[in-house]
Chains A and B, each alone.
Chain A
């Protein structure tokens, strides 16, 4: 398909970028099979994978915490964001503008400001830093994405269906559960998935609101990078990239929707 066209400037740029984007990942792959610790490649070995899976309990504990935080905060954000999206798109009321504006702000503000302000806030109200504060912080930065995606989904729909349900005697709760939610389910799902991804990924905000004993995976990787490079991180990276590929590849036809959202 591509061969039929002569290489254009934009295509050359595209493939150069793909090379640029993948180069670091290929280097990680290469070094993850390096027998020696750091430095140049010496000989092939799978020792770092063995260490990763068999001798890294701290790492897996951090991974577990990350998963708990991601699922918890994404679900909380999905609940709050979806309801607010339904409310602001269907009704006019006092404070609607405030809620809508506030729903964008955490997404626009630089991460470090969100992190520092939450840290100062938690200190001011005397909440001890730990899993709870991480959950609160992640829910806060996840809300905008769910809100945006569900709002967009609601806009696409014919609201007369909702009015019809109400006219035919459905209560507000029945309308919500049996008409609106099924309608916006894809929006909620993609918002939830985005939130899970962002939460698993977040380092900067988590760095500020985490306390001792609440190390998430990004925090674990950070300390591994800062205090002595361990090739186990190479192996972990390869496993994570492979996981991403396996997860994304089957759903690549939906990537366009993802791209339009970004």
Chain B
């Protein structure tokens, strides 16, 4: 390359931006978690491990455990129903229509969707009206403000995040392999578990990460449809920041959330054969506005 290296010039603006507005704030969080809290919010410049000690308190540990369980359960349910859904879209002859049906609710404002669930599950909501009309119940039942409501709404919110990557991986899968497995005597179930699933592992990993990480940091859903007993770590962080104004504690919990989400993801990536960077590139290949001719050609790429 005889020409000048313009790389740094191109990358400088974004590099600076993310250093100042992303890396530096994270650095401050790390630093604050080791400082003492100020009397009226903020911090005093004095080394303290108080925030980290509080993090190990029984109350916070139980919230952390609950957050982990809720995230795992919601992610598992999401993936289990997203798999057949992604499969059915990939096999459909009208993929654009089916994707449209999945994406419209997904592009509807997040809070509007939470609000819609409040209108369904609330004591004066749609479900109560329906059950009363059929005669199953006489007095209103509160379906909101409990753990189940939180899980249902979380699954609802993140289902499309799981369906889309699963669909795009299954779509690239060579279905003749399934037929071959069947011809060689595998049952339908066996063929799916032992031929299809290993081949779409990449999509499954992406789908799990795309649902697990945001659910683990969930804040708005447990706040709006959960009760006191469904508080998650995200809610504790928000309370520490806005109400209690204990910034060191908010910082240490934020770091814990980041670490657990990162470690959980890494463990999951490590446990599965294909690492994620390959996936990102792989699924990124189809990006940009692909022309209409490729939009319906399922077997454009043979290699998976």
A255 & B18 in contact (Cβ 8 Å cutoff): no
A260 & B287 in contact (Cβ 8 Å cutoff): yes
Cβ of A149 under 8 Å from chain B? yes
Cβ of B96 under 8 Å from chain A? yes
Closest to A167 in B: B3
Cβ of A51 under 8 Å from chain B? no
Cβ of B113 under 8 Å from chain A? yes
A187 & B25 in contact (Cβ 8 Å cutoff): no
- Looking at B85, B89, B117, the one whose CB has the most chain A CB atoms below 10 A away is B85
Residues of A within 8 A of B292 (CB): 253
Cβ of A43 under 8 Å from chain B? no
Q: How far is the CA of A17 from the CA of B100 in the complex (A)?
A: 13
Closest to A202 in B: B110
A117 & B25 in contact (Cβ 8 Å cutoff): yes
1/0 per position for B148-168, CB-CB distance to A under 8 A? 000000001001110111011
Please report the total number of A residues contacting B with Cβ < 8 Å.
Answer: 115
Cβ of A168 under 8 Å from chain B? no
A28 & B14 in contact (Cβ 8 Å cutoff): no
Cβ of B51 under 8 Å from chain A? no
B126 & A225 in contact (Cβ 8 Å cutoff): no
A116 & B109 in contact (Cβ 8 Å cutoff): no
Cβ of B220 under 8 Å from chain A? yes
Size band of the B side of the interface?
A: 35 or more
A21 & B84 in contact (Cβ 8 Å cutoff): no
B116 & A116 in contact (Cβ 8 Å cutoff): no
Cβ of A87 under 8 Å from chain B? yes
Closest to B254 in A: A113
With A149-B288, A203-B110, A249-B100 as known contacts, state yes or no: A106 contacts B18, CB within 8 Å. Answer: yes
A190 & B288 in contact (Cβ 8 Å cutoff): yes
Residues of A within 8 A of B6 (CB): 87, 90-91, 172
Q: How far is the CA of A173 from the CA of B14 in the complex (A)?
A: 18
Q: How far is the CA of A172 from the CA of B115 in the complex (A)?
A: 51
B219 & A112 in contact (Cβ 8 Å cutoff): yes
B288 & A153 in contact (Cβ 8 Å cutoff): yes
The 8 closest A-B pairs by CB, nearest first: A110-B217, A87-B10, A91-B7, A24-B116, A260-B286, A121-B25, A84-B14, A117-B25
Q: What are 17 contact pairs spanning A and B, CB under 8 A? A: A13-B84, A13-B85, A21-B102, A22-B105, A25-B108, A28-B115, A94-B8, A99-B18, A109-B261, A111-B214, A117-B25, A119-B241, A139-B21, A140-B18, A201-B110, A245-B104, A260-B168
Q: Add 15 more A-B contacts to A121-B24, A261-B283 (CB < 8 A).
A: A87-B7, A95-B11, A102-B23, A105-B22, A110-B257, A111-B214, A112-B257, A116-B251, A120-B28, A139-B21, A152-B284, A201-B110, A254-B290, A259-B99, A262-B164
Question: Interface residues, chain B, CB within 8 Å of chain A?
Answer: 3-11, 13-15, 17-19, 21-26, 28-29, 32, 42, 81, 84-85, 87-89, 91, 93-120, 124, 126, 129, 156, 159-161, 163-165, 167-168, 171, 210, 213-214, 216-217, 219-220, 224, 234, 237-238, 241, 247, 250-251, 254, 257-258, 261-262, 265, 280-281, 283-290, 292, 295
